[in-house]
Amino acid sequence: MSTNRITAAVRAAAVTALIGLPALGFAGAAVAHPGGVHPPAVDPIVGSEGGPCSENRVGVDGDTGNQLACVHSPDGGVWTGTNGAINGVHDFGSPCDSSVEDRSQTRDGRVITCTPGENVWEYGA
């Protein structure tokens, strides 16, 4: 099998695995919100750690299957590893507990951060 076909197979398997994690409860516990449980976020973007990105989105490394977050700097966006720190799916502006929660994602796959003091989910990773 060629390297391109192997890489494509790894990417497909990684995306499939990450999409299934929230449904199985492996993506972290979500805070209860009025209206019940939120559906899983959209499919993650396939990228590579250290590679360029253009949106504040959650992604997956196409080579390793590791979770990524697009972090912006003055030079543009860069995919960085999250060490599994993005947990659950929450609504922007909904309550969180900054003593136990750090980063999550919205239903449309955007990275959100639990702000200390205010204890609400806001954009900015």
pLDDT of residue 124: 67
Of 38, 108, 103, 41, the C-alpha closest to 71 is: 103
Q: Which band of pLDDT confidence, cut at 50, 70 and 90, is reported for residue 12? A: low
pTM: 0.58
| 97 vs 104: CA distance, rounded Å | 12
Please check whether residue 22 lies inside any domain of the structure: no
- Judge whether 58 lies within some domain: yes
Q: CA 91, CA 9: separation in Å to the nearest integer?
A: 32
13 domain-assigned: no
CA distances from 30 to 26, 33, 61, 74 (A): 11, 9, 24, 32
Residue 11, token pair as written in the block: 């990417």
Residue 42 is assigned to a structural domain of this protein: no
**Confidence check: pLDDT of 122 > 80:** yes
Domain containing 55 equals: 47-123
- Which tens digits make up the pLDDT trace of 47-96? 999 999 887 888 889 999 899 988 877 778 899 888 878 888 999 999 99
- Does residue 26 form part of some domain? no
